[in-house]
Structure 1
Amino acid sequence: MSTSTSTGPTAPPDSPESPKSPKSPDARGQAPSAGAPAAAPDRITGRAKLVLFVLCAAQFMVALDFSVLNVALPVLGADLGMSNSALQWAVTAFALPSGGFLLLFGRVADLVGRRRLFLTGLVVFGAASLLATFAWNPAVFLTGRALQGLGAAAIVPTGMALLTTTFPEGPQRDRALGISGTLMSLGFTVGMVLGGVMTDTLGWRSTMGLLAVAALAVLVLAPGLLKESRPQERPRLDVPGAVTVTGGLLSVIYALSTAAERGFGGADVLVTLVVGVALLAAFVVVESRAAAPLVSLPMLRRRTVAWGNVGGLITFSMMSTVIFVLTLYLQEVLSLSAFRTGLVFGVQGAASAVAGTYAPRVIGRIGARRTLVAGLLGQGAFVAALLLIGTGSGALVATVAVSIASMFHLGAIISYGVIVTSGVPDEEQGLATGLVTTTQQVGLTVGIPLLGVLATTRGESLFDGVRWVLAVNAGIVVLAAALIAVALRNRAVAR
């Protein structure tokens, strides 16, 4: 498959509107065409740095929202009068719209403008965070969380599309995606630490207030830096496709999120899971017949898009499961406090920051395909190493192992984004990045209910259950690495 992209009028190399330049044989495996403009510089300079800062700040803010509230849930529940069984909705209310609407908003952004939808998402997210901060009862709080998820569903795919259309395919985009991936991973772990500190010192409402302030800060900077981005010809919105895929994703995410708390035996879980699968199957049929499909089936048939997203789904879902069971292990088996558990995962965040610095260099040296496979193999190997943890003073062993695993995990995250978006023309970048971010959100959602239940149902103790999860997890990751290595073995398919 060709990796060439369309170009527009020539702009300065460090301008956000800079066209994509043909790549040298070393970078992409293709020689530049005759009369092609000179390749863009490797380094990100000038105004583009500020654009990258704003886009990454928004991604970091959303990642922070995934975890900052976790350790505050017991305090929140007592303050608002929410039962333990109802607390899951503090997470699910955000996860449903943030995952369910991503693909739809990725296409809507191509229609109405990525900058416009990005700014709209920031306004919704910030207002929803304020509503959650001052919530006076559970209904108001959960409404705020749902609106936060809706805002995040607009921010994430548009931010990624603005990033990939701002930076030319090659070293600049690899670096930009590396920084973005690092901050997303760092935001998740920093959120766990901040959540404990802020809840203990300022109360749980401060965690939501922090998000409102962050959204306002990005909203002040973004309008003056971001330029509008949309295809020259505006396609029609595929309404049947939008209804079936959004309904299917919402149903599946609801079923899996609920199963994480109550298991798969509940009637509502089974019904919504079946409905979700049926709607997603109907979506495939609708897209095969639509004149202007929401998702181009030929795009999904590209090996880079299909297998790149498989790699992203596996690394997100399996690593989120590791974090979940290690949280149980550290608190329930080793009796660490929630605050100290958050500090343990803070070490993972530091390791992610280091990995984010080197991952783009590794991609430039050995290629995104090999980096993805190596990242998955490394993640699987070090998750398997966690089987050596014990019931005594094993916290340090767990900390070091998960920190090393997170470094490989981040390499896989960055490289799969590079693989999926490489060779995709600007007019389809909203769709491609919508797929990338949908994979992230679905991965974060499905891993825990699918494997986390083993932690409490297998073996004679919680510790035995944790070891079961780790063993299955490592096997899945290594198997995925092998399949991707075979599927993308042709270097012309993925560099």
Structure 2
Amino acid sequence: MANEDQYKWGVVIIACMAIFIIVLDSSAMNVAITTLVVELNTTLTVIQSIIALYALIIASFMLLGSKIQDILGRKKTFLLGLLIYASGTIVATLSVNATMLMIGWSILEGIGAAMILPATTTIVGASYEGKDKVTAFGIWGGIAAVGAAIGPIIGGIFTTYLTWRLVFGSELVFIAAILIFRHYLTESKPTLKWKDLDIVGAVLSIISLILIVFGILLLTRPDYWIYVEVLMISGSILFVIFLLWQRRRINKGLVPLSDISLLKNRIFGLGNINSVIQQIPLAGFLFIIPVFLQQVTKLNAFMNGVALLPASITILFFSLIGAKLSSKLESKYILMTGFLISAAGTFILGGVFNVNTQIIDIVPGTVVFGVGVGLLLSQLTNLTMSAVRSDQESDASGFLNAFKNLGYSVGTALIGVLLLLGIFSGLTVGVESSGLAGNMTNEQIQSSLFTYVEKMQTGKPKKKRNS
């Protein structure tokens, strides 16, 4: 519990600052995709991969990051993760090419976030009880929604009027504030030693998840499709081996990387499944709309942020409303309502995208989608974590945050696949039937369009001459 001589909500405010900067990156940088492609001399697929890899690294290292709490204590784990995250932020801010951005953003920030996220979950859970706990997790989920929601407008302002590098650089202010007020954080006594750490389980979990998501990412590269099946099957097999390895360690009385018996808990299991399902469309929404607005309507980064602002405000408002509703309605009813409303939003959005689409056309769908997402984010963490015992909180927070980020990574990867299908079907047919392609073959049209989209070009796709 929080010390009585300290500000009651100090713990959750620090946790919220941490979650805010972690979720800010992806949504803020989505509106800067064109600028990143040009300034770093790279392609849309590479930037998409960096965004997906960020969430993937978080998911892959989450179980390990969660277990380290039992060795170092949750406060030390949180602060160590914060320092690793800060180093990644500095590297990302100074990036001169896509590789440097990937190292700083995807890898270093991802590993740091994998240590921070489960620690914040357990710190908040251990610091409050009863209604205060529900409120704290509601605020925590709401701020996560805020980071994802207002990211586009922040990224748009920095990218258009200053530089995208300040998206990362500004996070150092929050990191400094967290370090200054770290005395609010509560420490836990270590229950394990380094020799108890399941290294084999950690390696299996990390590699299996990376292989699966990389398999999905490669679906956007037709020349690499031969490897997709191998990666996804290999990853799935390794994940099954990981689960069997965990069960073997438990049966032998050894400490597993994660207590997989948690997955037998019906409410906890459903909470994780719902988190994955909720994150997939959210990731797709935050990736594809900025890409569409930059490619088709030619909006700059700031106007991209303005276009997403109604959804941002809606997500924030209904995440806060959802936290209050939980005292009057059962969480499961709020969750079901959230899923139905967000599904309605995606249905509305599905019919508005064409070459004549304007900002006002996407607002109704994004607002409806935002209502559903806000309700979902306000409930999932508290409902899922409330289903486990206090001695299971570290493992439970690791699973929950791993699944959430895996869902986000998969969502970003899948939307790239759908974008590719759009290029190879609708756009190719449209160009061919218009007669603009001249004597180009179907394959040449596809190649030209793919290069055009990859480079986020603003001119016409180049025609290729027949050899």
| TM bucket normalised to smaller | 0.7 to 0.9
- Residue 404 in 1 paired to residue 368 in 2? yes
> Measured at CA, do residues 228 and 263 of structure 1 come closer, stay the same or move farther in structure 2, by a change above 3 Å?
farther
Partners of 2:222 and 2:69 in 1: CA distance: 36
Partners of 1:269 and 1:372 in 2: CA distance: 34
Match of 1:429 in 2: 393
The Cα shift of 1:412 comes to: 1.6
> Measured at CA, do residues 177 and 205 of structure 1 come closer, stay the same or move farther in structure 2, by a change above 3 Å?
same
Partners of 2:28 and 2:225 in 1: CA distance: 29
The Cα shift of 1:309 comes to: 0.9
Are the equivalent residues in 2 in contact too, given 1:110–1:427 (CA < 8 A)? no
Matching residue's letter, 2:181: L
The Cα shift of 1:144 comes to: 1.6
Partners of 2:232 and 2:26 in 1: CA distance: 23
Let me know the Cα RMSD of the aligned residues. 2.7
Match of 1:306 in 2: 269
- Residue 151 in 1 paired to residue 118 in 2? no
Matching residue's letter, 1:278: I
Match of 2:84 in 1: 124
- Residue 242 in 1 paired to residue 218 in 2? no
Question: 237, 240, 247: which one pairs with 1:278?
Answer: 237
Match of 2:65 in 1: 105
The Cα shift of 1:233 comes to: 6.8
Match of 1:227 in 2: 186
Partners of 2:27 and 2:310 in 1: CA distance: 15
Map residues 295-374 of structure 1 onto 2, 5 A cutoff.
295-374=258-337
Q: Deviations over 1:238-281 (max 9, x none)?
A: 2322221122122223333443x425953444333222111101
Matching residue's letter, 1:227: T
Are the equivalent residues in 2 in contact too, given 1:106–1:158 (CA < 8 A)? yes
The Cα shift of 1:128 comes to: 1.7
- Residue 67 in 1 paired to residue 27 in 2? yes
Question: 219, 225, 245: which one pairs with 1:266?
Answer: 225
Q: Deviations over 1:145-196 (max 9, x none)?
A: 221111111111111111111121x322221111111111211232222112
Match of 1:205 in 2: 165
Which structure has more relative contact order (CA 8 Å, sep 6+)? It is 2
- Residue 460 in 1 paired to residue 429 in 2? no
Partners of 1:225 and 1:372 in 2: CA distance: 32
Partners of 2:328 and 2:21 in 1: CA distance: 31
Identity over aligned pairs, percent: 24
Map residues 152-191 of structure 1 onto 2, 5 A cutoff.
152-168=113-129, 170-191=130-151
Q: Which moved more, 1:78-87 or 1:434-443?
A: 78-87
> Measured at CA, do residues 270 and 339 of structure 1 come closer, stay the same or move farther in structure 2, by a change above 3 Å?
farther
Partners of 2:359 and 2:146 in 1: CA distance: 21
Match of 1:488 in 2: none
Query: For 2:31, what is the secondary structure of its paired residue?
Result: helix
Match of 2:446 in 1: none
Matching residue's letter, 2:32: A
Q: Which moved more, 1:289-298 or 1:452-461?
A: 452-461
Matching residue's letter, 1:167: Y
Are the equivalent residues in 1 in contact too, given 2:217–2:414 (CA < 8 A)? no
Question: 338, 355, 368: which one pairs with 1:375?
Answer: 338
Partners of 1:263 and 1:58 in 2: CA distance: 38
Q: Deviations over 1:303-342 (max 9, x none)?
A: 0111111111111112222333333444444443332122
> Measured at CA, do residues 142 and 316 of structure 1 come closer, stay the same or move farther in structure 2, by a change above 3 Å?
closer
Partners of 1:111 and 1:188 in 2: CA distance: 31
TM-score, normalised with respect to structure 1: 0.78
Query: For 1:266, what is the secondary structure of its paired residue?
Result: helix
Are the equivalent residues in 1 in contact too, given 2:28–2:152 (CA < 8 A)? yes
Matching residue's letter, 1:382: G
Matching residue's letter, 1:281: V
Partners of 2:222 and 2:236 in 1: CA distance: 18
Matching residue's letter, 1:407: V
Match of 2:175 in 1: 215
Partners of 2:364 and 2:202 in 1: CA distance: 44
Partners of 1:347 and 1:110 in 2: CA distance: 42
The Cα shift of 1:344 comes to: 1.5
Match of 1:42 in 2: none
Which protein has the bigger helix share?
Answer: 2
Partners of 1:172 and 1:429 in 2: CA distance: 17
Are the equivalent residues in 2 in contact too, given 1:230–1:427 (CA < 8 A)? no
> Measured at CA, do residues 163 and 297 of structure 1 come closer, stay the same or move farther in structure 2, by a change above 3 Å?
same
Matching residue's letter, 1:357: L
Are the equivalent residues in 2 in contact too, given 1:424–1:432 (CA < 8 A)? yes
Ranges in structure 2 where 5+ consecutive residues have no aligned partner: 431-467
Partners of 2:293 and 2:397 in 1: CA distance: 35
> Measured at CA, do residues 400 and 49 of structure 1 come closer, stay the same or move farther in structure 2, by a change above 3 Å?
same
Query: For 2:9, what is the secondary structure of its paired residue?
Result: helix
Ranges in structure 1 where 5+ consecutive residues have no aligned partner: 1-14, 19-44, 465-495
> Measured at CA, do residues 128 and 390 of structure 1 come closer, stay the same or move farther in structure 2, by a change above 3 Å?
closer
Q: Which moved more, 1:378-387 or 1:131-140?
A: 131-140
Query: For 2:426, what is the secondary structure of its paired residue?
Result: coil
Are the equivalent residues in 2 in contact too, given 1:101–1:153 (CA < 8 A)? yes
Partners of 1:332 and 1:427 in 2: CA distance: 50
Partners of 2:205 and 2:172 in 1: CA distance: 30
Query: For 1:68, what is the secondary structure of its paired residue?
Result: helix
